[in-house]
Amino acid sequence: MVYIGVDIGATWVRCAVADTNGKIIAKKKIRTLPDYGDKNVMLLRLKSTIRSLLKNLDAKSVEAIGVGSIGPLDMRRGIILRTPNLPIENIPVGEYLKKEFNVPVYIVNDCTAAVIGERFFGAGKNTENIVYITLSSGIGGGAIVDGNVLFGKDGNAVEIGHIVVDYDRKLRCGCGGYGHWEAYTSGKNIGIFTRFLVENVYGRDKYDVSILSRYSKDPSNIKYPDIVTAAKENDTLAFQIIEEIAEINAAGFATVTNVYDPEIISVGGSIALKNPSELILKPIGDKIEEFLINRKPKILITPLGEDVVIMGAVALAMNPDIIPKKFRD
């Protein structure tokens, strides 16, 4: 008997098979949308990836499937509604997998899955108050408060990437809202934020003498690795942008802390996992106190790394009672 965990992200879909102790015994990742946005192709590829993993293991019976997915979701119907970071909408993942594999399928927001993974297998084993934050193409979160996973009316209780960090309406988010955290420091939007800073704060002259201009004449094409590489080479503008990023991330982390009062904030996502802590995570810890009322939490990189969502999806498949009854009927 095995459990299946699925992590649906904007760029990658990860599938894993776990034994009855939750130990991953096989996994595979595929691109979420290799071609241009056909949700049927996406579902077919997801199914065949799971099937091939099972076939290689000669696994006979699947007990349940857990899915952590980019949102927002309609948790009741197991549908990915429309996400700011994918060009497709209304993807009926839950129903499709249920029909194909004929087992219960439990689907939650990816960061909710991550915080569940953290609680069962990672940094949250010894605390009832933990928040997970992903810094990735988008910014998202999951929260456990007093041992309760937070879901909300539709399962989207912790959409922290859309916390307003700037009510001045300078930048517009992929979701359509103004001043959202994700519009500034997410992987997808860092180029637009860089352009904003160049045009409105630091000036084009500074950009032209910066190492950053070697990557692209147009600051809106700048990516995280460019800023980090330039900062490592002591580029002044890159350092200033790193400071601006840290300031906004600190406001986001502080808001999360003021709202959920966590003991631990575990951080994942490619920006946090692939860049040096002294440029991304440490400056957040240094600046967070200017925005805090609550006691500062421990801020750390998730020990589960890239597997954090998938581990949560497995934990969910094994412990479906975590999901409130209203979403399971």
Instruction: Return residues touching Zn ion (CB under 5 A).
Output: 162, 173, 175, 177, 180
Minimum distance between the CB of residue 324 and Zn ion, rounded to whole angstroms?
A: 25
Of 111 and 322, which has the nearer Cβ to Zn ion?
Answer: 111
Minimum distance between the CB of residue 171 and Zn ion, rounded to whole angstroms?
A: 10
Of 158 and 315, which has the nearer Cβ to Zn ion?
Answer: 158
Minimum distance between the CB of residue 78 and Zn ion, rounded to whole angstroms?
A: 23
Of 121 and 253, which has the nearer Cβ to Zn ion?
Answer: 253
Minimum distance between the CB of residue 270 and Zn ion, rounded to whole angstroms?
A: 19
**Residue whose CB is nearest to Zn ion in the complex, by number:** 173
Of 49 and 186, which has the nearer Cβ to Zn ion?
Answer: 186
**Count of residues for the chain?**
329
Minimum distance between the CB of residue 162 and Zn ion, rounded to whole angstroms?
A: 4
Minimum distance between the CB of residue 166 and Zn ion, rounded to whole angstroms?
A: 12
Minimum distance between the CB of residue 228 and Zn ion, rounded to whole angstroms?
A: 25
Of 92 and 177, which has the nearer Cβ to Zn ion?
Answer: 177
**Is 273:305 a contact under the CB 8 Å cutoff?**
yes
Of 43 and 175, which has the nearer Cβ to Zn ion?
Answer: 175
Tokens representing residue 313 in the block: 């999806």
Of 119 and 162, which has the nearer Cβ to Zn ion?
Answer: 162
